[in-house]
Amino acid sequence: MRIVIVGGGILGTSHARSAVLRGHHVIHLEREPEARGATVRNFGLVWVSGRSAGELAVANRSRDLWEEIGRSVPGVGFRPAGSMTLLRTADEVAVAEDVVARADAADRGFRLLDPDEVIAVNPALRGKYLAGLHCTRDGAVESRVALPAIRDALSATGRYEFHPGCEAREVTSSSDGVSVRDDAGRVHRGDAVVLCAGAAHGGLVREVAGDLPVRRVRLQMMQTAPLDEPLTTAIADGDSFRYYPAFVGDTLDDLRTRQPQPEVAAEHRMQLLCVQRLHGGLTIGDTHHYDEPFDFDVAEAPYDHLRGVVEELLGRDLPPIVRRWAGVYSQCTDPDEIVCRREVSPGIWVVTGPGGRGMTLGPAIGEDTADAMAL
Domains of the chain: 2-40+144-213+338-372 (3.50.50.60), 83-136+214-332 (3.30.9.10)
> pLDDT 10s per residue in the chain (375 long)?
999 999 999 999 999 999 999 999 999 999 999 998 888 899 999 999 999 999 999 999 999 999 999 999 999 999 999 999 999 999 999 999 999 999 999 999 999 999 999 999 999 999 999 999 999 999 999 999 999 999 999 999 999 999 999 999 999 999 999 999 999 999 999 999 999 999 999 999 999 999 999 999 999 999 999 999 999 999 999 999 999 999 999 999 999 999 999 999 999 999 999 999 999 999 999 999 999 999 999 999 999 999 999 999 999 999 999 999 999 999 999 999 999 999 999 999 999 999 999 999 999 999 999 999 999
- Report the alpha-carbon distance of residue 307 to residue 77 in Å, rounded: 26
Q: Residue 214 has what pLDDT?
A: 97
Distance between CA 171 and CA 180 in Å, rounded? 5
CB contact at 8 A, 351 and 362 = no
| Cα–chain center distance at 171 | 28
Tell me how far CA of residue 223 lies from CA of 35, 227, 250, 253, 262, in angstroms: 19, 11, 35, 32, 23
In eight-state DSSP terms, residue 66 is H
Cα 89 from chain centre:
28
Nearest to 192, CA basis, from 1, 341, 7, 10? 1
pTM for the predicted model, two decimal places = 0.96
Query: Given this model, what pLDDT does residue 39 score?
Result: 85
The reported pLDDT for the residue numbered 38 is: 87
Model pLDDT, residue 61: 98
Sign of CA dihedral 218, 325, 199, 81: negative
Please tell me the predicted confidence (pLDDT) of residue 322.
Answer: 98
Question: In the beta sheet, which residues pair with residue 87?
Answer: 131
